[in-house]
Amino acid sequence: MSTSVLVHTNCDAESPVTGVDSRLQVAELAERRLHGLSYLALKNIRCGYHDGVLTLRGWLPTYYLKQRAQAAVTDLDGVTQIENRIEVMASASIAGPRAESK
């Protein structure tokens, strides 16, 4: 089951970051922050950034980790909203998303 959560953050933040390089830097900084946490499962999360919106994508085994991922990136400069598209899957699926049946 997947839910997408849109969170407004840094209401007083500077205007969104512009330019391809700057957008990539914000996304990479967010990923580095997530990957630097002590939760191994967060290494599966990918980030995208456009016009002040940071989008989190991937899968995690618990809603707690989904919340931790979101909390870890809420204070990044230039991020005014977070769209959390992380999917929560059963612990049995820790090796990755289920393969589609043929």
pTM (2 d.p.): 0.70
Is pLDDT at 10 greater than 80 in this prediction? no
Residue 98 forms part of a structural domain: no
- Which residues form the domain of 11? 5-93
20-35 pLDDT per residue, tens: 457 789 999 999 999 9
Q: How far is CA 9 from CA 16, 70, 71, 78, in A?
A: 12, 11, 10, 10
| pLDDT digit string, tens, across residues 91-101 | 644 555 554 44
Total count of domains within the chain: 1
Beta strands in 24-88 (DSSP E): 46-50, 53-60, 81-88
Kindly report the average pLDDT of the chain as a whole number: 80
In a domain, 101, yes or no: no
Determine, yes or no, domain membership for 99.
Answer: no
